[in-house]
A and B are shown apart, each in its own frame.
Chain A
Amino acid sequence: MEATIQALGVRKAFGTRTVLDGIDLEVPAGSIAAVLGPNGAGKTTLLNILSTLVAPDAGTVTVNGHDLARDPSAIRESISVTGQAAAVDEVLTGEENVTMMGRLNGLNRAEARRRSRELLESFDLADAARQRVVTFSGGMRRRLDLALSLVATPPVIFLDEPTTGLDTRSRRALWQTIHGLRTDGATILLTTQYLEEADELADDVTLIDGGRVVASGSPGELKAQVGETVVELKTHDGELLAAVPTDGTLPGLRAAINQLEERAAPGAAVSLRSPTLDDVFLHLTDPAAGQATTQKAFS
């Protein structure tokens, strides 16, 4: 069966700056896919192209069986998009925002009001329903933004860094929501900077950097490449001397510590941590460096 979201050789340049340099992506129906990458990797541009906001310079895209070049408006009927900026109307109340979006999605007044009550209730915004959004906190805005995206129930959902700026509790609640949407039959594509998030949510992860796909696979497959645990060697004032990925087993740890032996400075301390996006990313873009030493390349 054809994948619900398919991109083939997608390119986009703004002026002389190439943002996407031939991206291939396939998301099977009913799955959650994560596009993982650092700031400026082209994640948002890719999402803007898939959601009809930006036309690609080259390549083909189909979403829910509709071709982007031929029938973007059919794609718009199949998708819902939550962008990075909270696209809410600050002057209106929370309730007015959701009701307006309901009306713009073809609900009649009564349906729109009912849907608004449901969504505000489930996103924990019922108490603030009659307050103007300008008085909302960042987390409340983000939740309202998501509620607005979920007024309609299209089969494909795009989320651009959905949990950036949320506290841990809200982030976990949102993860549950996203799992729930998949259970509901939706196909979901999200972007994120956090390996942990991709790990928690995604069936498949596509790692991109500099507008290219660096790697793709299940979160387990990706992490297996850098190991389960990273052994770090730091000086007593916290400067990183070396970091070695391991598989977390005793022989693995022993081998790692042996590797660190030669770099040990007086007073240096060893600690263990989980792999981060930095590790996966550096390992995949520069495998040699990943094997031996991982330096903080970006934060």
Chain B
Amino acid sequence: MSTTNTTTPQPQTTLGPGRRPGRRRPAPGVADAVLIGRSVRHSLRDVETMLMAVLLPVMLMLMFTYVFGGAISAGGTIAQDGGYVDYVVPGIILTCAGFGASSAAVDTATDMANGIIDRFRTMPMRSSAVLTGHTVASLARNLVATAVVILVALLVGFRPSAGPAQWLAAAGLVALYILAITTLFTAIGVVAGSPQAASGYGFVLLFLPYLSSAFVPVETMPGWLQPIAEYQPITAVNESLRALLMGTDPGWYGPAAVAWCIGIGAIGVIWGAAAFRRRAGRR
């Protein structure tokens, strides 16, 4: 190390001649844990996104309760005892979760555009742990957003009648839903050419709740639209969630919701992983 004829100090590389042992593979799970920590830090430091994640639920909750709620209730089609607030809470939870999860697409696309993924790829680690990081951070972020929705809802008159088991089931269902759509958004982030494109594609998915039973009952929609609204995944998740929160029986919506989430999640994981591998050879 000190044998070179240099005038500037040498960076300390710590090893003597011929003693460069190679890289150590991180222990199983370490890469995932480290990259989850990275994504959580990203989330906490992205002030605008965090602000939106908290403000959006508040705004939606207030708007649907005080602005649209009167007109929709006056139509007389909402059968909920507690009025429109009790009806709309699950829909707002799902809308906010969808919005929050969509930033996973932007985060992933940003990483894909940057050299950092290439660096991971040349290291002896599972480089798709980057995607795991974004997915878990999205889950954590959106569970917080969900708690905010419920808190605001309680303040404006939401009166759930769920028991502890049903609360637990509801939380599990919301988590499953967030995971499912996050994997889909992550795959979109891998495929999209740029963060801007990822944001655009993600936006399309955010309209799905409006075409479900989230905000108005399916029966009030035009006939041709009803089958679409009734059998799309968000209606199943939404009806199950509403039933759990209000202490009623979700019926067939329950298994349908779980099946939809697992199906969507599986597509997201497989598509995302395949696209991640494919993007490697192209540059």
Contacts and interface: CB of A to CB of B under 8 A. Distances in A.
Q: Which of A84, A103, A186 has the most CB of B within 10 A?
A: A103
B15 A86 contact: no
Contact of A183 (B4, B8, B27, B34): B4
B50 to A, nearest CB: 13
Nearest to A81: B122
B14 A183 contact: no
Interface string A75-86: 011111101111
Interface stretch (B86-94, B111-119, B230-238): B111-119
Interface in A238-297: none
Interface stretch (A152-160, A196-204, A209-217, A225-233): A152-160
The B interface, classified by DSSP as helix, strand, loop or mixed, is loop
A226 to B, nearest CB: 28
Given A180-B11, A184-B1, A53 B283 contact: yes
Interface in A81-130: 81, 83-89, 91-92, 96, 100, 103-107, 118-119, 121-123
A89 B125 CA distance: 18
Contact of A180 (B13, B35, B122): B13
A76 B11 contact: no
A185 interface: yes
Interface string B102-122: 000000000000111011111
A186 B121 contact: no
A25 interface: no
B4 A104 contact: no
Contact of B122 (A30, A52, A55): A52
A62 to B, nearest CB: 15
Interface string A27-59: 000100000000000000000100111110000
Contacts, number: 147
B76 interface: no
A288 B22 CA distance: 47
A155 B20 contact: yes
A80 B22 CA distance: 9
A83 B119 contact: yes
B31 interface: yes
Given A184-B20, A185-B15, A77 B283 contact: no
A82 to B, nearest CB: 8
Interface string B7-38: 01111111111111111111100110011011
Contacts of A89: 38, 116
Contacts of B259: none
Contact of A87 (B21, B25, B38, B119): B119
B140 interface: no
A176 B25 CA distance: 29
A172 interface: yes
Contacts of A30: 18
Interface in A160-179: 172-173, 176-177, 179
B24 A181 contact: no
Contacts of B10: 122, 176-177, 180
Interface residues on A, range: 35 or more
A168 to B, nearest CB: 13
B38 A73 contact: no
B122 A76 contact: yes
A289 to B, nearest CB: 34
A148 interface: yes
A277 B124 CA distance: 36
B116 A152 contact: no
Given A154-B23, A176-B8, A184 B17 contact: yes
A183 B19 CA distance: 11
B17 A185 contact: yes
B26 A106 contact: yes
Contacts of A222: none
B164 interface: no
Contacts of A104: 26, 30-31, 34-35, 120, 123, 125
A181 B283 CA distance: 28
A38 B16 CA distance: 36
A53 B116 contact: no
B117 to A, nearest CB: 8
Contacts of B41: 91-92, 96
Interface in A129-164: 132, 147-150, 152-155
B223 interface: no
A210 B282 CA distance: 19
A105 B119 contact: no
17 contacts: A52-B121, A54-B281, A76-B23, A81-B119, A85-B114, A91-B42, A92-B41, A106-B23, A122-B9, A122-B11, A153-B13, A173-B8, A176-B4, A176-B10, A183-B1, A185-B16, A185-B20
What are the 9 tightest A-B residue pairs by CB atom distance, in nearest-first order? A106-B24, A87-B115, A122-B11, A85-B115, A87-B119, A180-B10, A81-B122, A185-B18, A155-B20
